[in-house]
Amino acid sequence: MLSLVSAPPFWLRDNCPCSGCRDPRNGQKLFQITELPAGLAVGSVQPATTPDGAPAHEVVWAPDGHRSVYPESWLGAHLPGTAADGGDGRGEDDKELWDAAGLAGRLPEADWADYVTDPAARATALDSVLRLGFVLLRGVPVRDRQVLDVARTFGYVRETNYGELFEVRVEADPNNLAFTGARITPHTDNPYRDPVPTLQLLHCLTNAAQGGDSGLVDGFHAASLLRAEDPGAYEVLTRVPVPFAFADARTELRAHRPLIGTDPAGRIREIRFNNRSIGTLHQPAGVLDAFYAAYRRFGELLLRPGLQLDFRLTPGDCLIFDNTRLLHARTAFAESGDRHLQGAYADIDGLASTLAVLRRKDTPA
């Protein structure tokens, strides 16, 4: 009881569960924080029970006399000191960081037939994307535009200037190196876009070319290594905005964001690394020297043996990965060879929502 009286009053009142404060139809709050009286305080507390009979405490508020009934279970889980902010699943603390050796023998993968028919298999696969940053679906039908159907199993396609889906194969007049046979080192896609697409899907239709193997690097892990090995370089990369840019005949995109994005508590939340798309930085000479030293250091770290997970996509494979965390790469391949992927972008908030609802259904009704 004492802890209730000493709880921050506006916080406690903002969590009043009564139907006048929260719409029972949708859980949304019905009052404005500004409508609460200035001298708000707990007037009295007495034992109570909830409508379904659970033990609770009733607060009568001063000065307005409003009554709030808080279940004991809620107070036990939420009063200050009982729980820390768990985050929203997007920062480094909510991830399992990895290098190639750490993942040896436990590549997160799922068979398409299981994924489609078994909610538990689907939940495990989607959880891998949140926790490890990716999942590899095997046995996906080798069919034009199938990648869009894969995206729609957990969320919504993010259309961009590259279309609803994009073809990754050698093109005669490519507007992007992705559409040539060139080697591409670990990078973020579309860094010149804000909001950047948070998920990417790559569905392999053909891969008969010499080369063209795939690689993934955990950018959160690499950034945490940089922080441990060279804190000054890490700090520079969280601070200096990098002007990413892309232009073709129909498009002119730019976003000025740091290579390592952090949340207000300083935790790693987003990696944006792409050597191909960095425009001209305008900063004092000292900042430019420091930035380029740090950028090279991080670039070397990303190529360090052991970090990158190498594998080869075969027809029917569909890779789904977190484009705000993992960097993806591919080896060069013969432009005459037959290699064709279809890609699409989507967003990870929708994937996390789908997983949360799946888990809800796991709970016996």
**Of residues 283-322, which lie at the interface with its own copies (CB under 8 A)?**
283-285, 288-289, 291-293, 295-296, 299-300, 303
Work out the angle between the directed axes of helices 219-229 and 285-302 (0-180°, nearest 10): 120
Q: Identify which of residues 106 and 296 has a Cβ nearer to its own copies in the complex.
A: 296
**Residues 97 to 126: which contact its own copies by CB under 8 A?**
none
Which of 128, 198, 308, 342 binds its own copies (CB under 8 A)? It is 198
Q: Identify which of residues 136 and 196 has a Cβ nearer to its own copies in the complex.
A: 196
**Residues 132 to 171: which contact its own copies by CB under 8 A?**
156-161
Structure tokens at 20: 């006048």
Tell me the closest approach of the beta carbon of residue 54 to its own copies, in angstroms.
18
Tell me the closest approach of the beta carbon of residue 91 to its own copies, in angstroms.
8
Indicate whether 226 belongs to the interface with its own copies (CB under 8 A): no
Q: Identify which of residues 28 and 105 has a Cβ nearer to its own copies in the complex.
A: 28
Which of 41, 104, 247, 334 binds its own copies (CB under 8 A)? It is 247
Q: 136 pairs with which residues across the strands?
A: 109, 319
Beta strand extents in the chain (DSSP E only): 41-49, 55-62, 67-71, 109-111, 134-138, 166-168, 184-187, 199-207, 214-218, 242-248, 251-257, 260-262, 268-271, 309-311, 318-322, 326-330, 339-346
Task: Evaluate whether 79 touches 7 at the Cβ level (below 8 Å).
Answer: yes
Q: 62 pairs with which residues across the strands?
A: 41
Q: Identify which of residues 49 and 283 has a Cβ nearer to its own copies in the complex.
A: 283
**Residues 317 to 346: which contact its own copies by CB under 8 A?**
none
**Residues 20 to 49: which contact its own copies by CB under 8 A?**
23, 25-34, 36
Go through 81-96 and write b for each residue having 16 or more CB atoms within 10 A of its CB, e for each that does not.
eeeeeeeeebbbeebe
Q: Identify which of residues 67 and 257 has a Cβ nearer to its own copies in the complex.
A: 257
With CB under 8 A as the contact rule, which of the stretches 49-57, 222-230, 329-337, 351-359 interacts with its own copies? 351-359
Residue with tokens 């040896």: 104
Indicate whether 221 belongs to the interface with its own copies (CB under 8 A): no
Count of residues engaged in binding its own copies, rule: CB under 8 A: 97
Q: Identify which of residues 164 and 213 has a Cβ nearer to its own copies in the complex.
A: 164
Interatomic CA distance for residues 337 and 278, integer angstroms = 30
Indicate whether 78 belongs to the interface with its own copies (CB under 8 A): yes
Best CA proximity match to 130, nearest among 313, 326, 262 = 326
Task: Evaluate whether 214 touches 100 at the Cβ level (below 8 Å).
Answer: no
Task: Evaluate whether 200 touches 191 at the Cβ level (below 8 Å).
Answer: no
With CB under 8 A as the contact rule, which of the stretches 55-63, 130-138, 253-261, 314-322 interacts with its own copies? 253-261
